Structures are given as C-alpha cells and as structure tokens.
Amino acid sequence: MNLLQKNMIYYADGTTGVLKDTTLESLQKAVGGYIEFHPTRLPNNLLICVNDEGLLRNLSINKHFKNIIYQPIYGDVAIIHKDDA
C-alpha cells in the first residue's frame, strides 16, 4: 500500500486526486460536506479530514483506509498537514 501524502484527496472508490489548497471551502468540496478531523493522527503531522455526516448520509466506506484505521471511514478524505489546518 502506498503511503498517504499531504494535499491529496482519497476518494471512497479507491482513486485519488490533488487538493489544490486547504481553505475551508476546498476541504468541504473535497469531502462533500461539513468537515471533521478524524482523531487518528498520521506520521509527519498529517491530519485526516472527513465528511462530518459520512455515516449519516450512508456514504461508502473509503477503501484507502480499510487497513490503516481500525474503524470505517465513510466518504472521500482529504489529507493535510497540521500547519495547514
């Protein structure tokens, strides 16, 4: 499995994209709604930004995180550095 990288979007379908900036609006667009930072901390001070209502909106489980985090993450995810939050 590839290492997670900052300023990337990890789509629930298994594909990836580049996060052009880390403004609130860009993060909300990337995850498809209100954002929340997942409590799991990644190496190199990276943060996991998820859709706050992913489970409630019945979003798909994100395939990228099945073997990284021991609880499901629903929907698309943006990875940013903590200094950009």
Q: What is the pTM of this model?
A: 0.91
Q: What is the pLDDT of residues 12-38, one digit of tens each?
A: 999 999 999 999 999 999 999 999 999
With a CB cutoff of 8 Å and minimum separation 6, the contacts of 43 are none
What's the rounded Cα separation, in Å, for the pair 23 and 63? 25
pLDDT at 2 over 60: no
